[in-house]
Structure 1
Amino acid sequence: MAELIAVDVERWPVAGSFVISRGAKTYVDVVTCIVGDGPHRGRGEGTPIYYKGEDAERCAAAIRAFAAHGDFDRASVNAQMKAGAARNALDCALWELEAQVAGRPVWELAGLAQPSPMATAFTISLGEPDVMEAAARKAAAAGYGLLKCKLTGEGDLDRVGAVRRGAPGVRLIVDANESWGDLDIVAEAAAMVALGVELVEQPVPRGQDERLRGLDAPIPFCADESCQTADDLERLTMYQAINIKLDKAGGLTEALKLAEGARARGQAIMVGCMLGTSLGIAPAFLAAQGAHWVDLDGALLLAEDREGALVAQAGLLQPGRLWG
């Protein structure tokens, strides 16, 4: 059992700005917590899910309120707290605490493969085509072999075409951010395939997922906003892939359940993230071992990061020593 030692809200600046169809961000607020059992400590970080109405202060309040009931463990946290950034921070802190108590790394406790460097996508923020082309050229020159384009449902082909011109040799995935609801989805998908795109995230708004069922599309669709926890999998069989994010799932514990359930259903796995520091990305790095697509650049998009941060070298995300 554990007790809450500290909970804080921190603000971290973004390098430039991070632009998607819902707006631009120049900073990210995260909630952090420390738990302990006396001699041992565990740390966790969560980034509030803005489209679920979360913010960092409310997440911090939720952690304090839960901890006020007394000692807790991962089982009680996952049974009693709703999925989201607050539970993610507590769940991951408890994983690290358990590892400290056992004298073993988290990956070993969780039955995961020992982490090794992996290729991560680098996100090309939404912008005018020439801006996205320049960003793609810069990312490719830095060694990123997988780029992710943010889309908006208008002018998408021009944007993706520009990214392809800027980085002709890279793999491409796109995130529609629910913006294709009024479009001919199969035609849009076919046009993306012609540009070498291999995956489309969340083409339709959450709740309209049935529109994808039975479509003869030439490209896999990946559930993002529609897929929060393992309970969602049964109704998301129209998707060929799911995007697991620890802040959506509410922690590493639920993320591992999601991965197991998706594999049992024959769905491919993408592991993604929100903007956040390496303390929040490190648990996702463990869950991403063996994923089909890895999109863990959330800390790489910040102007600064924590000491001991994960780093990218030639497009490969390297395991750090910050957590676990």
Structure 2
Amino acid sequence: MKITVQHERFPFARPFTISRGTRTHQDVVTVTLYEGNRCASAECTPYPRYGESVESVESVIRQIEQISARGHNLTLNRQQLQSLLPAGAARNALDCALWRLEWQSHFPSPAFEIAPAIATAMTVSIDTADVMASQAVELAENGATLLKIKLDAEAVIERVSAIRKAVPDIPLILDANEAWGDLPLSPLFDALAPLNIKMIEQPVPAEQASLLKGIPHPIPLCADESCHTSQDIAALTGCFEMVNIKLDKTGGLTEALKLEQTARAAGFDIMVGCMVGTSLAMEMALPLASRASIVDLDGPVLLGYDRPRGLRYQNGMILTGPMNTD
């Protein structure tokens, strides 16, 4: 099997701000596998929060490429990959490319039931309260039915109240990206409760998640940075009610399916999210998204342009159609 790896950069449609800073472009790494007369590509997004960079991810993939090229009795498959590499972006790209090869070999279409249209949250980037409210109105006018509000530790109630006033009927999910660790959470949760908040994502740093056990929260909490693989589930009980499954965290669809099963068995609800990327990355999350309670796969919408033959987004929905397996 031949493996190639490529770094690509996509501009954001507008500067994108979360609690960790502002970005104007997104770097992704694309892997292509060649086996016989078939090839398949997949995309991952290296994430600095998890100690990843484009260079580190490319290096890991090239090591696998060299091992494969030299033989070493290595026939790359998804099961072997789980022990060969840790969960993360590099394994995600390889795992998803292997899935695509399997779909080409055995099925004219994926062996999953994928809904023809899937509602997805649309994201409001951090800015002043007025600007965020304007973003929310624009998204609502374009058909969004669920908004994801990025927040840091500043002016939380002011920003959310302004958005709620501007779009009184659309459910909101709030994403603090670990930024509320120093805030008094109990009064903050109580103040947010009347504002029709569907869920709050990762309010505190991952290493502080256990503190949530003693804090009443009228709004469900979702683990993002605290939940990467099925091994994390046991520690999340009593802290969160939902987990956010992202392929770049799980290291691909193979472990993501295992995480989903483990989380459901433990009583957690399921959200399917993404790092910002193109439709090539979003497509691989659709089997999970079709049965998730909350879907946040608007990555391509945040970019200035998507790949050719990308997913279609309309009125807050992902129109899936046939998946590309090449």
Q: If the TM-score is normalised by the length of the shorter chain, which range does it land in?
A: over 0.9
- Structure-1 separation of matches of 2:52 and 2:282: 19
Instruction: Quote how far apart the aligned CAs of 1:53 are.
Output: 1.8
Of 81, 104, 109, the residue aligned with 1:105 is 109
TM-score of the pair, normalised by structure 1: 0.95
CA positional deviation for 1:143: 0.3
Q: CA offsets, 1:271-314, max 9 Å, x none?
A: 00011010011111221111111000111100001111112111
Contact 1:271/1:291 (8 A) holds in 2: yes
Provide, for residues 180-212 of structure 1, a one-character-per-residue CA deviation record: whole Å limited to 9, x for no partner. Answer: 212221221122221111100001111111101
For 2:129 and 2:272, locate their aligned partners in 1 and report how far apart those are by CA, in whole Å.
27
State the partner residue of 2:241. Answer: 240
How far apart are the structure 1 equivalents of 2:218 and 2:196?
A: 11
The aligned residue for residue 52 of structure 1 is 50
Q: Percent identity?
A: 45
Greater mean alpha carbon deviation, residues 227-236 or residues 66-75? 66-75
Query: How far, CA to CA, are the matches of 1:321 and 1:14 in structure 2?
Result: 26
Q: Residue 173 of structure 2 corresponds to which residue in structure 1?
A: 173
Q: Is the 8 A contact 1:88 1:249 kept in 2?
A: yes
RMSD: 1.2
CA distance in 2, matches of 1:116, 1:282: 12
Give the corresponding residue for 1:14.
Answer: 12
Letter in 1 for 2:275: M
**Rounded Cα–Cα distance in structure 2 between residues aligned with 1:292 and 1:186:** 25
**What CA distance in whole angstroms lies between the structure 1 residues aligned with 2:60 and 2:266?**
34
CA distance in 2 between counterparts of 1:190 and 1:40 reads 55
Q: Hey, what does 1:313 align to over in structure 2?
A: 314
Q: CA offsets, 1:138-172, max 9 Å, x none?
A: 00000001001011112011111111122112110
- How many residue pairs were aligned? 318
State the alpha-carbon separation in 1 of the partners of residues 113 and 182 from structure 2: 42
The 1-side partners of 2:128 and 2:114 are apart by 41
Q: Distance in 2 between matches of 1:104 and 1:83?
A: 29
**Greater alpha carbon shift after TM alignment, 80-89 vs 175-184:** 175-184
- d(CA) in 2 for partners of 1:191, 1:254: 37
Aligned twin of 2:66: 68
Match of 1:255 in 2: 256
Gaps of 5+ in 2: 69-74
The answer on whether the counterparts of 1:300 and 1:311 sit within 8 Å (CA) in structure 2 is no
- 1:300 match: secondary structure: helix
Following superposition, the deviation at residue 322 of structure 1 comes to 5.2
Q: Which moved more, 1:207-216 or 1:146-155?
A: 207-216
User: Partner amino acid for 1:264?
Assistant: A
2:159 maps to: 159
Instruction: Tell me if structure 2 keeps the 8 A contact 1:31–1:57.
Output: no
The residue that corresponds to 2:33 in the other structure is 35
Q: Which residue number in structure 1 is paired with residue 121 of structure 2? A: 121
Check the 8 A contact 2:116/2:321 in 1, yes or no. Answer: no
Tell me which residue corresponds to 1:4. Answer: 2
Q: Is the contact made by 2:109 and 2:323 (CA closer than 8 Å) also made in structure 1?
A: no
- Give the superposition deviation at 1:75: 1.1
Q: Does 1:83 align with 2:87?
A: yes
- State the Cα deviation string for residues 200-232 of structure 1 (Å, max 9, x = none): 000111111110114321011100001111111
* 1:128 Cα deviation from its structure 2 partner: 0.3
Contact 1:43 1:323 survives alignment (8 Å)? no
Instruction: Describe the SS at the equivalent of 2:131.
Output: helix
- Residues 271 and 84 of structure 1, relative CA distance in 2, 3 Å threshold: same
Partner of 1:92: 96
1:98-132 Cα offsets, whole Å, 9 max, x none, are 111113423x1xxx323321110001000000100
CA distance, structure 1, for counterparts of residue 29 and residue 18 of structure 2: 22
TM-score by length of 2: 0.95
Offset from partner CA, 1:56-101 (integer Å, 9 cap, x none):
2221111110122123111111111111111111000000001111
- Kept in 2: contact 1:171–1:198 (CA 8 A): yes
The unaligned stretches of length 5 or more in structure 1 are none
Q: Which segment is superposed worse, 180-189 or 229-238?
A: 180-189
**Aligned twin of 2:24:** 26
Q: Who is 1:302 aligned against? A: 303
Structure 2 CA distance for aligned equivalents of residues 320 and 15 of structure 1: 25
Amino acid in the other structure paired with 2:84: Q
Conserved 8 A contact 2:123-2:150: yes
Residue 323 of structure 1 and its aligned partner are, at CA, apart by 3.0
Question: What is the CA distance between 1:321 and its match in structure 2?
Answer: 4.3
